[in-house]
Amino acid sequence: MELYDRFKRALGLAPKIHPVDRGLARHWTKQRLAAVFPELRGDARGLEAAYRALDLEPRASETDPTELVFEVGLHREIEP
């Protein structure tokens, strides 16, 4: 199975993420956004727009292939 995972990683395919892990990552990221940008604390739509604008990309860690790392890219504009 490890060979198959390495092959998929070489092709640039993102690893599968368990729904619980995805939810925890989303929750933690939104908490950090609200802490860093206080104006988003009471604005659920603004917080969701900021989260979506982050463009998170899951990938395997370079040091430990069993770990997932979310890479942040700011490619899109935040729409009010």
In a domain, 66, yes or no: yes
Please tell me which residue, 13 or 40, carries the higher pLDDT value. 40
- Tally of structural domains, the chain: 1
Residue 76 has pLDDT above 70, yes or no: no
Token pair of 54 as six digits: 């982050």
In a domain, 80, yes or no: no
**Model confidence pLDDT, tens digit, residues 17-27:** 788 888 888 89
In a domain, 54, yes or no: yes
Rounded average pLDDT over 13-38: 84
In a domain, 78, yes or no: no
In a domain, 77, yes or no: no
In a domain, 79, yes or no: no
Residue 78 has pLDDT above 60, yes or no: no
Domain that holds residue 30: 2-71
In a domain, 31, yes or no: yes
Question: Taking all residues of the chain, what is their mean pLDDT, rounded to a whole number?
Answer: 77
